A and B are shown apart, each in its own frame.
Chain A
């Protein structure tokens, strides 16, 4: 049973470039969440998606950031025109469908983005 997969594990970009982070949820999971973690901090929620739908993007900056979870393929978090302040670890989590009260989120290993 593969867990949540994220790639790349490390990504280096220069200011102004685009960053694309990919997340494949656990098998059978159709809910995906993206979080950002700064050094010495807890994780901060960014966006919650189901297949082809954004459910909650209240934690995502209005500009330069976008996310999608297409019918086929991984979820993508896209950061356009990156700035140094975007440097962080980005984690994806997934949970199963069904709306059960005991659904729990399982995290991937993260993508560490460094903006030069």
Chain B
């Protein structure tokens, strides 16, 4: 079935460093989303991407919808301790504008002050 391969699984970085993570698939999607989840909480939407090639920023976060529609990247610049959490990519399957999401397994980010 369709699945998203998210990498890396985990990252340990120093405060101030830039972070890059990605999500790939063999399937084509119409929407890519990036969420952050903190312990005991639900995923919080960070960035939504709706068009191939789209590059969108949200503060220090930048995400891109791959031109092939099979991948997406998330970059975090100048990381700070509160960036700690698990970052999930998600993509919408199905042809319509509504429909369920499939999720990657997450990238766990740890930031050393």
CB neighbours of A33 from chain B (8 A)? 100-101
For the side of the interface on B, what is the size category? 20 to 34
Q: Name the one of A43, A55, A101, A104 contacting B88, with C-beta atoms under 8 angstroms.
A: A43
Interface residue count on the A side (C-beta < 8 Å) = 31
Check if A42 sits within 8 Å of B98, measured CB to CB.
Answer: no
With contact pairs A42-B105, A43-B88, A101-B50 given, residues A56 and B44 touching in the complex (Cβ less than 8 Å): no
Could you list which residues of chain A lie within 8 angstroms of chain B, going by C-beta atoms?
4, 6, 31, 33, 35, 40-45, 48, 55-56, 59, 91, 93, 95, 99-110, 112
23 A–B contacts, CB within 8 A, in A order: A4-B42, A6-B42, A35-B101, A42-B88, A42-B103, A43-B43, A43-B88, A43-B103, A45-B102, A56-B100, A91-B42, A91-B43, A93-B101, A99-B97, A102-B97, A104-B45, A104-B48, A106-B45, A107-B35, A107-B43, A107-B45, A109-B40, A109-B42
